[in-house]
Amino acid sequence: MSATTAADLDGAWIVQKASGAGLEKAAGLRFDFDGGTLYGSSPCRSFTTTFGPGLENLMLSPFQIGGGLCDEETMIAEREFLEQMRLVNRMEVTGDGELVMYNFEAPLLWARRLEE
């Protein structure tokens, strides 16, 4: 399979799991990629960051985080998720269409394209 490009990511994705973050309280985490910009939404807040053009050795930075408050458990889960996002330095779409975000060789986040 050829290397994943930023264009391969364009569209909406639902986060399935995150290493080190319990997403049960933060269900519905979503990514929307558009031309090198990542828009994210969660139960409490939203975020935006840029990346690219390559998906190897990248840094998702700077993060712009929108306001919003939830119950304490959901806010903790969301904080843990955002901490994982800050560690991402590589992304790829696997042969079965799953988006995996890595910190070097360690997978951190998994997402599936939103079927509309």
Cα separation, 54 vs 69, in Å, equals 34
Cα separation, 18 vs 29, in Å, equals 10
Cα separation, 40 vs 36, in Å, equals 13
Report yes or no: 24 and 61 within 8 Å, Cβ to Cβ: no
Cα separation, 33 vs 40, in Å, equals 9
Given pLDDT bands bounded at 50, 70 and 90, which one contains residue 23?
A: low
Residues making up the chain, counted from first to last: 116
- pLDDT tens figures, 32-43: 999 889 999 887
Residue 1 has a pLDDT of: 46
Whether 114 has a pLDDT exceeding 60, the answer reads yes
- pLDDT tens figures, 66-87: 877 888 888 888 888 888 888 8
0.75 surpassed by pTM:
yes
